[in-house]
Amino acid sequence: MSVDGFVTVAKVGEIPPGGRKIVRIDDQTVAVFRLDDGYYAIEDVCTHDGGPVAEGPLEGDIIECPRHGAKFNVKTGAVVAMPATSPVPTYTVRIQGDDIQVGWA
């Protein structure tokens, strides 16, 4: 449920450094990553062929789709390696008290 445009997806401390949590919001799958400088969220649907991109290996800021190896920057959604050519959607993440929240207008 969205409160002032944000949805709580995890508690602070629940996602370890370099870790991720994959959640369902409405009928979409969203992955929240904890990077060195904060939390970032992308839609967990590869723009190449719909693969579960966030289930692949993460190296620094870069996630690799486990299906055919496309790579995306988790912070910006930008493609950094083919075969994908379109960016993945990103979402605003904020910390509110003990909650990690994703912007969900």
Binding interface with ligand FES (CB under 6 A): 46, 48-51, 53, 65, 67-70, 83-84
**Residue 86: CB minimum distance to ligand FES, A:** 11
Closer residue to ligand FES (CB): 28 or 96: 28
**Residue 12: CB minimum distance to ligand FES, A:** 30
**Residue 91: CB minimum distance to ligand FES, A:** 19
**Residue 59: CB minimum distance to ligand FES, A:** 16
Closer residue to ligand FES (CB): 63 or 100: 63
Half-sphere exposure of residue 60: CA atoms within 13 angstroms, side-chain side:
5
Sequence-distant (≥ 6) Cβ neighbours of residue 34 within 8 angstroms: 15, 16, 17, 18, 19, 20
What percent helix, strand, coil does the chain show, rounded to 5?
5, 45, 50
Closer residue to ligand FES (CB): 52 or 103: 52
Sequence-distant (≥ 6) Cβ neighbours of residue 37 within 8 angstroms: none
Is residue 90 within 8 A of residue 40, CB to CB? The reply is yes
